[in-house]
Amino acid sequence: MKENIPNIYSFKVKKITGEDQLLSAYRNKVVLIVNTASECGFTPQLGELQQLKDEINNPDFEILGFPTNDFGKQEPLNGDDISSFCEINHGVKFPVFDKIMVRGVHAHPLYQFLSDKKLNTKLSSIPRWNFHKYLINKKGEVEDYFFPFTKPLSSKLKKKVLRLLAHNTTK
């Protein structure tokens, strides 16, 4: 058994309201982290992500959205406008955080961690576009990733989420 495997729990992010949120609030949950944008061809995935959350219907599963303007400047909105867009146009009820950078030297520390195997000890996968998805296990460790063209309701993604939910991490 590996000890001290890096996880997401030490990271702090900003809520859309500007308040800090520690990701340790999601301890013991399976988490799907997605970089989003409101003017992207993949934007309908916002509704599909909410549908995935609703279908799985498990309090131990959470989706976290991180808007970014890194790709084609496809996120012109800020703050409450992002939240309103997601809720009104796609029925999003899962947490959507403040806009961040997800790649390059100015990437948010969370995304530096998610995308670099040297930091997360599991995989390297830098987002190449909006709606890149990282799957986090109940220990807060990076488990897998999915490219933007992998739809949230795909059997591949759903099976992996359900498998992680079924895995008991307590001793």
Band (pLDDT 50/70/90 cuts) for residue 5 is confident
> Residue 23: inside a domain, yes or no?
yes
How many Cα atoms occupy the beta-carbon half-sphere of 99 within 13 Å?
18
The DSSP output letter for 97 is B
Band (pLDDT 50/70/90 cuts) for residue 171 is very low
Its domain, for residue 96, covers 8-164
Cα 79–Cα 102–Cα 137 angle in degrees, nearest 5: 100
Band (pLDDT 50/70/90 cuts) for residue 169 is low
Residue 133 vs residues 3, 104, 114, 170: alpha-carbon distances, Å? 26, 17, 10, 26
Could you give the residue numbers annotated as active site?
40
Q: What is the CATH number of the domain that holds 43?
A: 3.40.30.10
Give how many domains the chain has, as a whole number: 1
What pLDDT digit, counting tens, does each position of 20-44 carry? Answer: 999 999 999 999 999 999 999 999 9
> Residue 169: inside a domain, yes or no?
no
Provide the mean pLDDT of the chain.
Answer: 94
- The residue written with tokens 């029925």 in the block is 91
> Residue 157: inside a domain, yes or no?
yes
> Residue 136: inside a domain, yes or no?
yes
Q: Please determine, for residue 47, whether its predicted confidence score (pLDDT) is greater than 90.
A: yes
pTM of the full structure? 0.95
Outline where DSSP puts E strands in the chain.
12-14, 20-22, 30-36, 61-67, 133-136, 142-146
Is the CB of residue 139 less than 8 Å from the CB of residue 169? yes
Q: Please determine, for residue 4, whether its predicted confidence score (pLDDT) is greater than 80.
A: no
> Residue 143: inside a domain, yes or no?
yes
Number of Cβ atoms within 10 Å of the Cβ of 81: 12
Q: Please determine, for residue 3, whether its predicted confidence score (pLDDT) is greater than 70.
A: no
> What confidence score (pLDDT) does residue 2 get?
47
Radius of gyration, alpha carbons of the chain: 15
> What confidence score (pLDDT) does residue 77 get?
96
> Residue 3: inside a domain, yes or no?
no
Band (pLDDT 50/70/90 cuts) for residue 114 is very high
C-alpha span between 87 and 71 (Å, rounded): 22
> Residue 76: inside a domain, yes or no?
yes
Q: Exposed (0-12), middle (13-18) or buried (19+): which is 150, by Cβ within 10 Å? A: middle
> What confidence score (pLDDT) does residue 167 get?
84
> Residue 59: inside a domain, yes or no?
yes
What pLDDT digit, counting tens, does each position of 134-163 carry? Answer: 999 999 999 999 999 999 999 999 999 999
